[in-house]
């Protein structure tokens, strides 16, 4: 018995006890349009709305993390706390050999 959620439990059941796994982490309100789109997606994917919402949230969080990181690096560059390095210089310094399937300089295809 980790926690309880107060409210109006069904008659005769008293307070319902929840395990940690059962406790909701986040509750959000969706517009009618977004709710409808989520319902349509869940029906098309034969998954629950919660599953599709969780997947969208995870992907969005990864994108937001990348955006915030890029933004902080740009601020550091613009304020002089960081310096830009040319890609060619970085590859040379790290002894990287950048090869692609199609070598545009030689005009040949490497397999």
In our burial notation (b when 16+ CB lie closer than 10 A, e otherwise), range 45-65 reads eeeeeeebbeeeeeeeeeeee
Quote the number of domains for the chain: 1
In a domain, residue 34? The reply is yes
Residue 2 has pLDDT above 50, yes or no: no
47, 38 contact by CB (below 8 A) = no
Residue at 58 is within a domain: yes
Q: Is pLDDT above 50 for 109?
A: no
Residue 33 domain-assigned (yes or no): yes
Q: Is residue 104 part of a domain?
A: no
Question: Which one has a higher pLDDT value, 23 or 73?
Answer: 73
Q: Which positions ≥6 away from 30 have C-beta within 8 Å?
A: 38
- Residue 25 has a pLDDT of 73
State residue 14's pLDDT score. 60
Task: Please compute the mean of the pLDDT values over residues 30-37 and round it to a whole number.
Answer: 93
Q: Within a domain: residue 106?
A: no
Q: State the residue range of the domain holding 18.
A: 3-95
Q: Which of 17-26, 46-55, 76-85 has the lowest mean pLDDT?
A: 17-26
The answer to pTM > 0.75 is no
Q: For the residues of 55-106, what is the DSSP string, one character each? A: HHHHHHHHHHHHHHHHHHHHHHHHTTSS----HHHHHHHTT-----SEETTT
């Amino acid at each position: 018995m980790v926690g309880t959620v107060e409210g109006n439990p069904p008659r005769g059941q008293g307070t319902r006890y929840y395990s940690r796994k059962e406790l909701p982490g986040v509750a959000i309100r969706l517009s009618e349009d977004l709710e409808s789109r989520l319902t349509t997606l869940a029906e098309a994917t034969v998954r629950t709305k919660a599953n599709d919402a969780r997947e969208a949230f995870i992907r969005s969080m990864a994108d937001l993390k990348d955006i915030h990181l890029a933004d902080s690096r740009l601020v550091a560059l613009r304020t002089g706390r960081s310096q830009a390095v040319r890609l060619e210089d970085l590859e040379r310094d790290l002894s990287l050999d950048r090869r692609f399937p199609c070598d545009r300089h030689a005009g040949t295809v490497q397999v």
